[in-house]
Amino acid sequence: MTGIKSFTSAGAKLILGDDSPLIKNNAVSSVQSVGGTGALKLGFELLKRAKPSIVYISNPTWEILYLYFS
Per the model's pLDDT, the better-predicted residue between 20 and 63 turns out to be 20
Q: What is the pLDDT of residues 12-33, one digit of tens each?
A: 999 999 999 999 999 999 989 8
SS3 9: helix
- Note the pTM of the prediction, 2 decimals: 0.63
Task: Give the pLDDT band (50/70/90) at residue 57.
Answer: confident
pLDDT on residue 8:
94
Best CA proximity match to 39, nearest among 5, 6, 11, 10: 11
Q: What is the DSSP string of 13-55?
A: HHHH-TT-HHHHTT-------SSHHHHHHHHHHHHHHH--S--
Residues 6+ apart with CB under 8 A from 15: none
Terminal Cα-to-Cα distance of the chain (whole angstroms) = 26
Per the model's pLDDT, the better-predicted residue between 23 and 64 turns out to be 23
